[in-house]
Amino acid sequence: MRLRTQDAVGLGIALGMVLVLLASPVAAQSGPYPSGPVRVIVGFAPGGGMDVAGRLLGQKMTDLWGKSVLVENRPGASTGIATKAVIDAPPDGYTVLFNSNTMVVNQVMSPDAGYDIERQLLSVINVAWQPTVIVASNSLPVSSLADIIELSKTRKLSYGSPGQGTPQHLIGAQLFNILSKTDIVQVPYNGAAPALSAVVGNQIDLAIVTLPPAVPLIKAGRLKGIAVTTAKPVASVPNIPTVAASGFPGFFASNFNGYFMPLKTPKAVTDVFRQTLIKVLAMPDIKEKLTELAYDFADLEREDFPRIVSDEIAMWKKVIKEANIKIE
């Protein structure tokens, strides 16, 4: 059978429209989101705070949806490997990034990071803040930030960080070098654990690390907790004052822990994901477990996560410039 010209043209147009629809993210879903397993890619190794939190939240989402939420660890390149993996994924909500502001610092510190958060990802929801803490050796004659700053005028002090170009390195540069105008020297380590061990062993004077690995050492009396960088004291160590209350009003520098999706993911999908997480975060057992992990809950009603990310990019660019930190 031969088709008339107009019939052939009409059939071609119809087939073209079908192909376009099939290629779209929304059409790729069979039914309401999610209709299948969701992968959550974490830029850190198994066993760390974000990995544990991601699995706790993922299990609860699995229970609510009846669809698996699977955590996949892709550590490396200061979370750049995980970040780029999600950027390159289809924008359908089935590949999600769970990351911290390490991804922001990596972007502003590394010219070859290979991604642009604001142009390539949607900042869906920040679920919690992971506080940073300043700790001191028990042998150091200080009990406050003011003591540290005063002591730095008479002797050379050093602080350990989890690595060059980490958020904690930049917090130290902002606090000690820019705001306090001291000459306290950063000593980079390969992670928080060795930095804390160096303070316990009196190899360095101070450390600036995320709070969870420091809590057991503080509670055991092996380190002094000097200040936390959150806006208010943290529930797991309520007696440690904030930096803001220690002579630096308005100071805030904590690690967001949030979810991201590829830029063109439909709003209907991101809305479902966000609302499900809000339900999960209201569960008493999740609140208890995240508090035990030394997390500080985000203000889900008021926080503007895309704005938070944008402000962090601008802030760390400024710190790098003012502290004259070498970008490698």
Is there a contact between 185 and 323 (Cβ–Cβ < 8 Å)? no
pLDDT for 5 equals: 44
In a domain, 9, yes or no: no
Residue 197 and residue 271 in one domain: no
Tens-digit pLDDT profile for the chain (328 aa)?
444 444 444 444 444 444 444 444 444 455 799 999 999 999 988 888 889 999 999 999 999 999 999 999 998 888 999 999 999 999 999 999 999 999 999 999 887 899 999 999 999 999 999 999 999 999 999 999 999 999 999 999 999 998 888 899 999 999 999 999 999 999 998 888 899 999 999 999 999 999 988 999 999 999 999 999 998 999 889 999 999 999 999 999 989 999 999 999 999 999 999 999 999 999 999 999 998 888 888 889 889 999 999 999 999 999 988 888 876 5
pLDDT for 323 equals: 86
* Domain carrying residue 205: 132-246
pLDDT for 25 equals: 44
CATH label of the domain that carries residue 105: 3.40.190.150
Question: Going by C-beta distance under 8 Å and a sequence separation of 6 or more, which residues neighbour residue 261?
Answer: 86, 91, 93, 95, 96, 97, 121, 122, 124, 269, 270, 273
Listed residues 246, 280, 300: the one ending a domain: 246
Residue 217 and residue 261 in one domain: no
pLDDT for 121 equals: 98
In a domain, 50, yes or no: yes
**Smallest Cα–Cα separation from 114: which of 72, 77, 89?**
77
**Smallest Cα–Cα separation from 50: which of 82, 77, 19?**
82
Listed residues 214, 246, 278: the one ending a domain: 246
Residue 305 and residue 263 in one domain: yes
Interatomic CA distance for residues 97 and 202, integer angstroms: 38
Residue 120, classified by CB atoms within 10 Å of its CB into exposed (0-12), middle (13-18) or buried (19+), is: middle
Q: Are strands 69-73 and 38-42 parallel, antiparallel or unpaired?
A: parallel
In a domain, 49, yes or no: yes
pLDDT for 9 equals: 43
* Domains in the chain, number: 2
Residue 241 and residue 157 in one domain: yes
Residue 13, classified by CB atoms within 10 Å of its CB into exposed (0-12), middle (13-18) or buried (19+), is: exposed
Q: For 80-157, where are the alpha helices, taking DSSP H only?
A: 80-87, 102-109, 117-120, 145-151
Can you give the pTM of this predicted structure? Answer: 0.82
* One-letter identity of residue 280: V
Helix axes 284-292, 267-281, angle to 10 degrees: 80
Residue 28 CA, distance from chain mean position: 30
